[in-house]
Amino acid sequence: MAKQQIMKASVCAAAIAGLCTLALAGASRTQGAAPAPADLNGTYQCKPNPSPCLWSGASASITQSGKKLQIKGTNGAMADATLTSDVTIAAGGTFNSLGIIRADKSIDWSDGTKWTKQ
């Protein structure tokens, strides 16, 4: 009986050690440098999805400096925006929309439009 208790204690200790190792590895990754923000510089084609492209017109351009973005529509509309995470954008001013950056670098906006990078 004592042999079984020793084996259980050994298994438990090994499991705890493994969890501690995983926790320390995760902590060291979170303390490192943050990943570089997505490169969103460029021209985008606005596609109704389902809303029409009223704010930007047929296309828009994004100029990026770090997490700060400036968005300009072909119709002259301009807005400042911020990259709020690796996959989200908050645009203020006259655009006043939230965006989700997709893997193909397209952006789905809360105004019902989708921008595809050209």
Q: What is the pLDDT of residues 19-76, one digit of tens each?
A: 333 333 333 334 455 556 689 999 999 998 889 999 999 999 999 999 999 999 999 9
Contact predicate 78/91, CB 8 Å: no
Ranges of each domain in the chain: 1-32, 42-117
**All residues at 6 or more sequence positions from 67 whose CB lies less than 8 Å from its CB, including other chains:** 37, 82, 83, 84
Q: What is the pLDDT of residues 94-105, one digit of tens each?
A: 999 999 999 999
CA distance 76 to 106: 21
Which two structure tokens, joined as six digits, stand for 55? 């704010």
Model pTM score: 0.69
